[in-house]
Structure 1
């Protein structure tokens, strides 16, 4: 390959456009690089270094044979500012779900902007869509739809078991809030499974922070006899703050829901034991339920929880133990 095109390809991370090449060398140089197999056209006017294509998928489109990071750059080069990354592609750029190599690149563009879907690229044409803040943002050097819009767009196109995970993670990582997501959802009245999205936002607003907590809230820790648990209550332990999954304030009982990955992890077990001891020093009883029991022994877990709460009421009522909201005083064990 001629030295100038090679430098342009390297500078573009493996991607180069016809316009960029022909600004510095004659057209025949580009044709020669394609003819001898050094460059491959992946989209109109967009080329990539041939060695970046996955040889194990010879029948796939050229764009879907590239690493997602390269295919995204190629799609943006083709769009030339007329569209931005969206849906599952933007979800990957936001770091909330990795996109597979075989997936399409998703772009959103205004109606009338001149972009049409291509092999390997899905263009979503949107009315009243503008390509400027706050509708779009710069992320990893690429223009993408804002996070809330990305999560709403991705909800109906993710596999059935996956839509909730990116939303929960985005809230847990404090990238957004249930309130901001509710506003974005309000602009999509015809979204498929919209009611499920709205219900999830309700649980997150109430303090649930994992699928297991949502399961527990909906199927275990509500109903006759159950108190109105506080969720994700912050408590100061020494130099750090911990958050209680479910906290019954009058009984000073903290219910912790241990996920499936927690069981069998000695390091996590040691961390949990130290935390529980520190909370005990503050007069807070910690009760842990494993994932298996929460899912398969619902009635037993409910019965045990009600019995523990009843015993604590008797115990605290007959002693000088403090009651009410924990003070969060420092405690080291």
Structure 2
């Protein structure tokens, strides 16, 4: 196996011009001949692929790293590289790479360049293509999310995928001197480790209940069903309404769902009603959620009025 064949094999059929010129017996004339014969096709300036068809995502990733070298996959692209070619849910239209902060590169279409001081210490250079560590990529995606719900979704997906842990994500977070949403991320990681939904419970209390003047529900109310003890997240006992906050990242487990249904059954058996709320209702749409809960309470006899929180602009009435 000659040097070029070995290099193409190791880099999924992608090679940079500077690499070609470093091979024994290869000069500009040889490179020009390979290009003229279409044995190599330029996909980015100075970067070639060994066929004439559309490059695969893996080849595009290699091409991006070689074009920006020294560089590594970052953000969505690094995460996708860890998950393998079978995972297509991530951003595949653009390839994200990270380079040193003092470099100035004009990225071609389809390529996003991130700049960060000392990025090399966060990179796994032995992988192909080189990429930042998974925990770094997850944090980049979480911090780049347009809202809090997107941040939580990224953290929950990473932890649920079993490729990393909350402890590793927290270590990566601690290594960054300043990040937005640090408190939220830290709290969510605490919940991931504990298997609880304290973030959601706290935010429901402040963003939905208190901010809109809803009656104060009782928290973690004990109930019994068939001799088994269970706990209800929020109970508005005077109106027979229970709010369950579904925020655990492992909530798809069948036994968890079974316990949820048991709590709902116990509430219904007592003439009550159960509402299940998740991160979207509490963090992204707290005003709509508050007015929805208020309408349910009003239908069951509550005579109070919803307060405007300064963001919702809804009328002061339960319905």
TM bucket (normalised to shorter chain) is 0.5 to 0.7
Structure 1 residues 203 and 167 mapped into 2: Cα distance closer, same or farther (>3 Å)?
A: closer
Question: Does the CA-based 8 Å contact 2:124-2:131 persist in structure 1?
Answer: yes
What is the distance in 1 between the residues matched to 2:67 and 2:231? 47
Unmatched 5+ stretches in structure 2:
222-229, 282-288, 303-319
Q: Deviation per CA, 1:265-311: give whole Å up to 9, x if none.
A: xx999994588569999xxx99863569x747323667999x9xxxx
What is the distance in 1 between the residues matched to 2:43 and 2:259? 56
For these two proteins, the number of residue pairs brought into alignment is 257
Structure 1 residues 288 and 106 mapped into 2: Cα distance closer, same or farther (>3 Å)?
A: farther
- Aligned to 2:294, the other structure's residue is in SS state helix
- TM superposition shift of 1:48: 1.0
What is the distance in 1 between the residues matched to 2:138 and 2:245? 28
The reply to whether residue 149 of structure 1 matches residue 136 of structure 2 is yes
What is the distance in 2 between the residues matched to 1:170 and 1:139? 22
Which of 84-93 and 205-214 deviates more?
Answer: 205-214
Unmatched 5+ stretches in structure 1:
54-65, 231-243, 308-333
What is the distance in 2 between the residues matched to 1:186 and 1:7? 38
What is the distance in 1 between the residues matched to 2:58 and 2:169? 28
Question: Does the CA-based 8 Å contact 1:178-1:201 persist in structure 2?
Answer: no
| Higher relative helix content | 2
The reply to whether residue 289 of structure 1 matches residue 285 of structure 2 is no
- Alignment RMSD (CA, Å): 5.3
Question: Does the CA-based 8 Å contact 1:152-1:185 persist in structure 2?
Answer: no
Question: Does the CA-based 8 Å contact 2:101-2:116 persist in structure 1?
Answer: yes
Q: Deviation per CA, 1:177-223: give whole Å up to 9, x if none.
A: 2895487278353x5xx2x4533543553566699878756556787
TM-score for both structures, normalised by structure 2: 0.55
Name the residue aligned to 2:94: 103
Name the residue aligned to 1:330: none
Q: Deviation per CA, 1:221-240: give whole Å up to 9, x if none.
A: 7875434449xxxxxxxxxx
Name the residue aligned to 2:76: 88
TM-score for both structures, normalised by structure 1: 0.53
| Alignment map for 1:73-222 (pairs within 5 Å) | 73-80=62-69, 82-95=70-83, 98-109=89-100, 111=102, 116-120=105-109, 121-127=111-117, 129-132=118-121, 135-137=122-124, 141-155=128-142, 157-159=144-146, 162-173=150-161, 175-177=164-166, 180-181=169-170, 184=173, 187=176, 189=178, 194=180, 196=181, 198-206=183-191, 219=207
Structure 1 residues 158 and 273 mapped into 2: Cα distance closer, same or farther (>3 Å)?
A: closer
What is the distance in 2 between the residues matched to 1:179 and 1:7? 35
What is the distance in 2 between the residues matched to 1:136 and 1:198? 26
